[in-house]
């Protein structure tokens, strides 16, 4: 299969025949490429359904045009995406962490994040104690909810699927999750409290996207 290549600024197609995807932008009624790479046309997810149901808006029937470059994909922290982070500091009001990957794409340089006490759990927000939810060096999945201030991004784990995915005891033993707020050391059977992430299939799909 031969592919078509483009450089930034190349006019790809008129805006009414496709929707702009990643690597493209829309201007003056046309879709232009914004990165160098090969051009791909993806039929939208609703395409098959849209044929049988004429009710769907024409917007759904348009294919998405994208420009991809295999070897070079940059991850930029954006509001709404999922971030993998490592807890660095736990204080009574908030938790600080370093983001090292976003949506399964490693970051070139780490970004600083902060989880406020109110954003840790959706249940019993007022009684949350940060030290009972996270410990330093835990690996956590969190959602970026705001760009925050100049120092750090604001993150949230107030969803059942978000929270600690890997943690160790103070002696270095890997903890095993047993409940939504408990992890057990397999050797000593000591229970430690954590905000454990409930890994679900649709969530795995989201990170793989």
Question: Residues interacting with other proteins, by CB under 8 A?
Answer: 3, 5, 7-11, 23, 25, 27, 32, 34-38, 69-74, 76-78, 108-112, 147, 150-151, 153
In the complex, the smallest distance separating the C-beta of residue 189 from other proteins, rounded to whole angstroms, is 41
In the complex, the smallest distance separating the C-beta of residue 176 from other proteins, rounded to whole angstroms, is 34
Report which DSSP code applies to 118. Answer: G
Output 8 or 63, the one with its CB closest to other proteins.
Answer: 8
Distance CA 75, CA 152 (A): 17
Structure tokens at 149: 């201030």
Output 34 or 169, the one with its CB closest to other proteins.
Answer: 34
Query: Which DSSP helix (H) or strand (E) runs through 85?
Result: strand 82-90
In the complex, the smallest distance separating the C-beta of residue 57 from other proteins, rounded to whole angstroms, is 27
What SS3 class is residue 130?
helix
- Report the DSSP beta bridge partners of residue 25: 32
What SS3 class is residue 119?
helix
In the complex, the smallest distance separating the C-beta of residue 114 from other proteins, rounded to whole angstroms, is 13
Output 36 or 128, the one with its CB closest to other proteins.
Answer: 36
Output 59 or 73, the one with its CB closest to other proteins.
Answer: 73
How many helices and strands (H and E) does the chain possess? 4, 16
């Amino acid at each position: 299969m031969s592919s078509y290549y483009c450089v930034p600024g190349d006019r790809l197609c008129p805006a009414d025949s496709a929707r702009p995807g990643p690597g493209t932008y829309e201007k003056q009624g046309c879709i232009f490429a914004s990165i160098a790479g090969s051009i791909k046309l993806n039929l939208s997810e609703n395409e098959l359904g849209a044929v049988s149901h004429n009710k769907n808006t024409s917007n759904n029937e348009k294919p998405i045009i994208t420009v991809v470059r295999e070897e070079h994909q940059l991850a930029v922290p954006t509001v709404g995406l999922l971030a993998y982070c490592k807890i660095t500091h736990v204080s009574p009001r908030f938790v600080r962490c370093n983001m090292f990957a976003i949506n399964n794409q490693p970051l070139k340089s780490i970004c600083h994040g902060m989880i406020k006490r109110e954003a840790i759990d959706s249940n019993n927000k007022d009684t949350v104690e940060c030290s009972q939810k996270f410990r330093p060096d835990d690996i956590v999945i969190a959602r970026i909810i705001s760009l925050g201030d100049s120092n750090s991004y604001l993150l949230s784990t107030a969803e059942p699927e978000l929270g600690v995915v890997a943690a160790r005891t103070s002696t270095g033993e890997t903890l095993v999750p047993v409940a939504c707020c408990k992890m057990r050391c397999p050797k000593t059977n000591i229970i430690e409290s954590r905000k454990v992430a409930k890994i679900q299939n649709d969530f795995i799909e989201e990170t793989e996207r």
